[in-house]
Structure 1
Amino acid sequence: MSTSTRHRPPGGTQVPYLVDALWEAVSAADEYLATGVVLDALEEGADPESLLLDVIAVVQARVGEEWAANRMGVAQEHAATAINERAVAALSSHPAARAARTAPRLGRITVACVDGEWHALPARLLAEVLALRGWRVDYLGAQVPAPHLIAHLHRTDADAVALSSSIATRLPTAHAAITACQAVGVPVLVGGAAFGAAGRYARPLGADAWAPDARAAADRLARGPLPRPRPGHLSVDDLPHLADQEYTTVARSAPALVRTVFGALEDAFPAVRAYDEAQREHTAEDLAHIVEFLATALYLDEDELFTEFVLWTTGILTARGVPAHSLPPALDILARELRDFPRATRILAHATRALTPAHPSTARNPV
């Protein structure tokens, strides 16, 4: 038996207990205890799908919450994620899970992450659930470039592609992947935080379906096949606002914009010049994220996407004890640099209005 035996409650497989037990193991960075919790439960009759989605996925969500609240560092978060991935692998290869797996009879699904997307665990969970339910699954893992995805589709007879992305800045890349899959006749189901609340960004990007989580995705696929795309079904030109070239210009000039905004902050606020190397590096990273999210908001012409990111950034900085004072001045400087770009200035103004009431004095001094 595994090292988790001593922690087993009466009955052994209650979900809340298992969540707590796995969280304890993950928090302690104890890979063997974590896999033991999962495998003991599996041996005692726990449903493999429930272990994946109601235990491991729940613990992984808590990992993200703890990181955002600054109660878990980056290295700890990476270690915790790796342990959860190891628990999924251990479950998948266990005889009890193999016995629970329905023989492939429903069709073939390709599961992949958008190019540039490193958060592969949600996609892996979906792949495992689909395999349990009787699909033949090709799991391609993290950051799959669209040409490689399409090459794979040419070699297989996939009924659909399930595409995962957690970071909104990958949405332009997701759009290209969706379009490419549909161009070879394969429909696309998308999921992940990148696509917004209730999947609000999935439809503008032409996805054939959206699901909020792995269980819902598997349920949607079980209801019937996604319709095969029609020839000419979608084009990357289906976002007409892109004709103004604001997205392209901002995306291509991002490094120069970051340097300009950083320099202007130093000129306007002498205290910024006294930042040590780590502070300067973090500030530059924050500015780069701001510009990247602005470009994504321009791609979709969605003010809220950028505003939500800025408010989220404020919360992250506050949790880390870093005053978010530099955000409104940085947005003001960026708006001045992009004053000839009406959509960009509109998006920046929207975010500034949302940010200023919470920080009425922040426009004066960033430190």
Structure 2
Amino acid sequence: MNDRLPAVVEGYLEAVDRADRETAVGLALGLLDTGWSAADVLVDLVAAAQREIGLRWQTGRWSIAQEHAATHVSDLVVSAVASRTPVPTPRGHAVMACVEGEWHALAARIVAETVRAAGWRVTFLGASVPARHLVSYLHQTGPDMVLLSCVQPNRLVRAARMIEACRSAGVPVIAGGPGFGPEGRWATAVGATAWGATARDAARLLDRHRHPGFAAGPVRPAGSDEYVAVLRRRREVVERAVRAVAPPPEHAEELATAVAHLVDALAAAIRVGDPQLLVDFAGWQVELLSTRPGRTGLLDTVLAGCASVLAEHPTARDYVQHARAAVAETTA
């Protein structure tokens, strides 16, 4: 399988680039017929292709419309693979959810279907699940574990709140997704029982931590509550940045959203006690802006505005200085 994999993924990418659902679904089901497992198709084909699709959008090679069309086809492929996969007797019940504000649900669907194929009953709650609704559902259904997906680290404060709610309800959480940092370095800082890099990891971790109540209970508090003050001043930072940049009216909302995400990343960095989270997030924004003509100089202006508004918050000020230095080095 390994020798064929690059060519198979490339053929799949060509199909989704054309939004050719019949070819993409046929390719995936054909692999099942030749002996690939559901996990092989979902992880090594669909998930691998989605990483490349995201990269093509990030580098400006694909438009948002192309990315959306390709992702829709991949979603149909996941459904087709799931419908062809026999499900053994359930070994337990897991709930799969995306962090509130997280609308990238395909990766979570891939995890849900891989775990289901491994013999678990899985309830997939979808994108952007509010913490209060998740904990209410846990009390109603009593699952063994929650699988929580987070793609962007700027949503880690929300992830921490969701994990705290789950553990207070007696249900441990296995975290997944790049939002929890390289090698999941921030997962335990926000209270997760464990972190898995892939859908296969999620299935293995469920077996290891399958007993109800494992590592449940209150999450240890953050080292500093300064992140709360940062979030309270989020609107002020956004308004200051928009005034400083003075974008054309048609781009003002886009800029405001980007600044809000940056403030969220700063708050998340303070919450987990790691300035590298903000540095990495700012670096990602530099890379993204480099594909948009005339936008590369904006980030330092925005960070300077953050530093001005949050001057009386020492940790925030220090973390922003780290980020500005990294941005200056990157763009020099």
Q: Do both proteins adopt the same fold according to a TM-score greater than 0.5, normalized to the shorter chain? A: yes
The 5 A counterparts of 1:100-249 are: 101-104=87-90, 106-225=91-210, 228-229=213-214, 233-235=217-219, 238-242=221-225, 246-249=226-229
Paired residue for 2:73?
83
Q: Which has the larger radius of gyration?
A: 1
What secondary structure, in the 3-state scheme, does the structure 2 residue paired with 1:324 have?
Answer: coil
Aligned to 2:288: 316
Aligned counterparts of 1:102 and 1:17: Cα–Cα separation in 2: 32
Structure-1 separation of matches of 2:13 and 2:129 = 30
**Structure having greater relative contact order (Cα 8 Å, sep ≥ 6):** 2
Percent sequence identity over aligned pairs: 36
Instruction: State the AA in 1 paired with 2:196.
Output: A
**How many angstroms does 1:68 deviate by?**
0.9
Cα displacement (A) at 1:224: 4.8
Corresponding residue of 2:305? 333
State the 1:321 CA deviation: 3.1
- Measure the CA separation in 1 of the matches of 2:83 and 2:117: 12
RMSD between aligned residues: 2.1
Judge conservation of contact 1:258–1:288 (CA < 8 Å) in 2. Answer: yes
Query: How many positions carry a matched residue from both structures?
Result: 331
- Structure 1 residues 227 and 199: CA distance shift in structure 2, 3 A: farther
TM-score calculated relative to the size of structure 1: 0.84
| Displacement of 1:199 | 0.8
Counterpart contact for 1:199–1:210, Cα < 8 Å: yes
Change (3 A) 1:226 1:347: farther
Secondary structure of the equivalent of 1:138? strand
- Which stretches in structure 1 are left out of the alignment for 5+ residues? 1-10, 266-271, 361-367
* Pair 1:255-2:240 in alignment: no
AA matched with 2:330:
A
Separation in 2, partners of 1:352, 1:63: 29
Structure 2, unaligned runs of 5 or more: none
**Cα–Cα, structure 1 residues 156 and 280, in superposed 2: closer, same or farther, change >3 Å?**
closer
For 1:141 and 1:358, locate their aligned partners in 2 and report how far apart those are by CA, in whole Å: 36
Q: Name the SS for the 1:142 alignment partner.
A: coil
User: Which residue of 1 is the match for residue 330 of structure 2?
Assistant: 358
Q: 1:136-160 CA deviation, whole Å, 9 max, x = no partner?
A: 1111111112222222222223111
Alignment deviations for residues 81-118 of structure 1 (CA, whole Å, 9 cap, x no partner): 11101100011112xx22xx3332x2111111112111
Give 1:348's aligned amino acid: V
